[in-house]
Homo-oligomer: A and B are copies of this chain.
C-alpha cells in the first residue's frame, strides 16, 4: 500500500500561527520535504524546525532562481521523484509550505506531478494576506466589498486597472518592484490609504506608511490598499 502525500500550510512565519493539525502531522512525520530557493535556507522549514523529529528523513527540493520554465520544472521533477520513492514504499510524506499550500506556493507543482498516483491531503494555513491585515490593524474587506490579490510583478497598466476596479487590494511579492508600485499608487492618489508590511508575525516584522518603505523591499513584503470604506464602520 502506498503512503499519503500531505501539503501542509505553516502560516506566515510565527510558529504559533501554525494550525493544531499542521503541528500534529509534522511532529509525527517520518519523511519531510520542502523547497529551497537557490540553496538558501528554507523559510517553511524554519517555521517548523522545533517540531521536526530529529531522525526524520528530509527531502530538500532546490529550485533554481530563474524566470525560465525548464530549470524549475526539472527541479520539481527531481523532487517529485524523491517523494515518489517514499510514497511507493508505503511511507507518508509531509511537504512543508509557508502560508497556505494552494495560495501562490510551490507545492502545487509537486501536487500536479503526484496527485494522480497517490492519495493526498491539503492542510490549509493562515496566509500572509490576513497576517498582514492583523499586524497593520486594518480590516481587509467587509460585507459586499471586492478584494483583489495582485502579484507585484504585474505590469503598471494591468495593476492600475485591477486597483481601479476593486474595493480593497493586496499587492504580494513586492520586493524589487517597490519603487515602481509606489510611484503608481502616488499617481493614483492612493498613498494615504496604503500600508507596507514586511515579514508579518516574525520578530523582524515592519509595518510602515508606503512612503517610508525600504527600496528594494524584502521578498516577503506586501502593500495593503483599503480604498473602499464600509459605511457600517462609521
**Interchain CB contact under 8 A, B21 and A19:** no
Nearest B residue to A134 via CB reads: B122
Digit string of A103-116 for contact with B (CB within 8 Å is 1, else 0)? 11100110110010
Q: Do residues A9 and B233 form an inter-chain contact, with CB atoms below 8 A?
A: no
Query: A62 to nearest B CB, angstroms?
Result: 17
Is A133 engaged at the interface, CB distance under 8 Å to the other chain?
Answer: yes
Please tell me how many copies of the chain the complex holds.
2
Task: Choose among B124, B146, B233 the residue that contacts A131 (Cβ–Cβ < 8 A).
Answer: B124
For the complex, give the distance between the alpha carbons of A230 and B105 in Å. Answer: 12
User: Taking the complex as formed, is A120 at the interface, i.e. its CB lies under 8 A from any CB of chain B?
Assistant: yes
Chain A: how many interface residues by the 8 Å CB criterion? 66
Judge whether A154 is part of the interface by a CB distance below 8 angstroms: yes
Please pick, from B140, B146, B150, the residue contacting A162 in the complex, using a CB distance under 8 A.
Answer: B146
For A125-167 the 0/1 string (1 means CB < 8 A from B) is 1110011011101111111111111110110000001100110
In the complex, the answer to whether A124 meets B133 with C-beta atoms within 8 Å is yes
The interface residues of chain A, by DSSP majority, are classed as mixed
Q: How far is the CA of A133 from the CA of B145 in the complex (A)?
A: 21
Question: Which of B14, B123, B133 is close to A103, meaning CB atoms less than 8 Å apart?
Answer: B133
State which of B18, B144, B148, B233 has its C-beta within 8 Å of the C-beta of A146: B148
Q: Which of these, B9, B24, B72, B150, contacts A16 with CB under 8 Å?
A: B24
A101 on the B face (CB < 8 A): yes
Q: Which of A135, A137, A147, A161 has the most CB of B within 10 A?
A: A147
List chain A positions with a Cβ less than 8 A from chain B. Answer: 9, 11-12, 14-21, 23-24, 69, 72-73, 100-105, 108-109, 111-112, 115, 120, 122-127, 130-131, 133-135, 137-151, 153-154, 161-162, 165-166, 201, 230-234
Lowest 5 A-B CB distances belong to which pairs?
A122-B134, A108-B139, A16-B21, A124-B130, A147-B149
